[in-house]
């Protein structure tokens, strides 16, 4: 298993003559029929209308895309972090936790079962995970789940950084009022995993036996997020 620094990656995930083509997505005008909601707190409010997926939650929440993804694909969307709702108690008003699972399954390869929305409930998944601006915007980390949670790379504030993590900076934080374009790439060409924010390749990961199929979920806790223009693209 190896981590490849973003600065060393110079090629795109879909090389000519192939092109990335949108094959699915959600314009957020017809409710949540494309998603499965798992919320730890019944006060969580999630809506999809007028082009915006609006998530307000005082506690843990996961929103799973219904369809399994595989092959060379990318997920793109734009995210805006807003102050957490008053119901978040001591966390009200904070910017935090633009997080996501992808290529997720149960250990036996089946689709993720229904859980309660509490973060620890997902520890037994097989998946990749990015927590961007997590822990009240003090960490941004890439993890792999394979029966346990393992840190692959990350950024963190001084005093809470794990071994090998880099300092946080403007590129690794949620910015108030700033929409952030996100792209996740899963491809057979190494590095098989690529995670980009605002045009910057933040995480890149290659391994001998990568996970190249599974389910995607948005994940957050004690936060408010707005998601727009959710797209799934394939290299064709």
CA 171 to chain centre: 16
Give the CA count within 13 Å in the CB-facing half-sphere of 159. 1
Residue ranges making up the domain that contains 196:
2-235
**Residue 47, CA distances (Å) to 35, 90, 111, 124, 217 in order:** 11, 24, 24, 28, 16
Burial of 11 (0-12, 13-18, 19+ CB in 10 A): exposed
The pLDDT assigned to 11 comes to 47
**Residue 67, CA distances (Å) to 80, 106, 115, 158 in order:** 24, 15, 17, 39
Instruction: Determine contact, residues 21/41, Cβ cutoff 8 Å.
Output: no
The pLDDT assigned to 200 comes to 95
pTM above 0.85, yes or no: yes
Domains: count for the chain: 1
The pLDDT assigned to 101 comes to 98
Give the CATH number for residue 191.
Answer: 2.60.120.560
* pLDDT, the chain, mean: 93
Q: Which residues of the chain have pLDDT under 50?
A: 1-11
Quick: pLDDT tens for 18-61.
899 999 999 999 999 999 999 999 999 999 999 999 999 999 99
- Report the distance separating Cα 139 and Cα 143, nearest Å: 12
């Amino acid at each position: 298993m190896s981590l490849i620094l973003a600065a060393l990656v110079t090629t795109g995930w879909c090389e000519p003559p192939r092109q990335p083509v949108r094959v699915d997505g959600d314009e957020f005008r017809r409710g949540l029929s494309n998603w499965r909601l798992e919320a730890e707190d019944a006060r969580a409010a999630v809506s999809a209308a007028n082009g915006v997926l609006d998530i307000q939650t005082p506690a843990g929440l996961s929103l799973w895309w219904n369809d399994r993804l595989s092959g060379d694909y990318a997920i793109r969307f734009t995210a805006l972090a807003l102050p957490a709702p008053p119901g978040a108690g001591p966390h009200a008003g904070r910017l935090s936790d633009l997080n996501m699972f992808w290529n997720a399954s149960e250990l036996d390869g089946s689709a993720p079962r229904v859980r309660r929305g509490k973060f620890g409930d997902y520890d037994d998944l097989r998946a990749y995970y990015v927590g961007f601006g997590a822990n009240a915007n003090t960490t941004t980390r890439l993890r792999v789940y394979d029966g346990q949670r393992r840190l692959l790379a990350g950024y963190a504030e001084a005093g809470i950084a794990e071994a090998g993590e880099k300092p946080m900076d403007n590129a690794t934080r949620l910015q108030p009022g700033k929409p952030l374009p996100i792209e996740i790439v899963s491809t057979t060409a190494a590095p098989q995993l690529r995670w980009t924010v605002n045009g910057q390749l933040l995480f890149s990961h290659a391994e001998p036996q990568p996970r190249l199929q599974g389910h995607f979920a948005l994940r957050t806790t004690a936060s408010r997020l707005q998601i727009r223009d959710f797209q799934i693209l394939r290299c064709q």
